Amino acid sequence: MDANQIHLIKIILLGSTLSGKTSIIQRMENNIFDKTIKTTNGAQYIMKSYYYFNKNWKLNIWDAPGNIKYRNLNKIFIKMLKFVYLFLI
């Protein structure tokens, strides 16, 4: 295995409106927590790179909207999944 190989992980945050998905993204991206953040329109995306266990990791993190009018968009995200980790807040 090449030492410079990048291991890609795709993460999609799905949940109800105002459940904190965007706040998690903001915390990861900017290390801030904003209680006044507005709901997500469309989808939001960030990429984070880490070096962990002597490997290069790249996280593609998608913030899917929770509003019911975006349910069809969320179905597309769900089809992209290969693994699901479910947690309830």
If you search the block for the tokens 């927590």, which residue do you land on? 33
Range of the domain at 49: 6-80
pLDDT by residue (tens digit) across 17-37?
888 888 888 888 888 888 787
Helices (H), 1-89: 21-30, 71-80
Query: Regarding beta strands 6-13 and 44-52, do their DSSP bridges make them parallel or antiparallel, or are they unpaired?
Result: unpaired
Q: Find tokens 């002597």 and name the residue.
A: 54
- Domain count of the fold of the chain: 1
CATH code for position 61: 3.40.50.300
Provide the 8-state DSSP code for 37: P
- pLDDT given for residue 2 in this prediction: 66
pLDDT of amino acid 89? 56
d(CA 80, CA 20): 22
Q: Quote the pTM value.
A: 0.72
Asked if residue 69 belongs to a domain, the reply is yes
Specify if 85 maps to a domain.
no
Average pLDDT, the chain: 81
Do the domain assignments include residue 17? yes
- Asked if residue 89 belongs to a domain, the reply is no
Per-residue confidence (pLDDT) for residue 51, from 0 to 100:
93
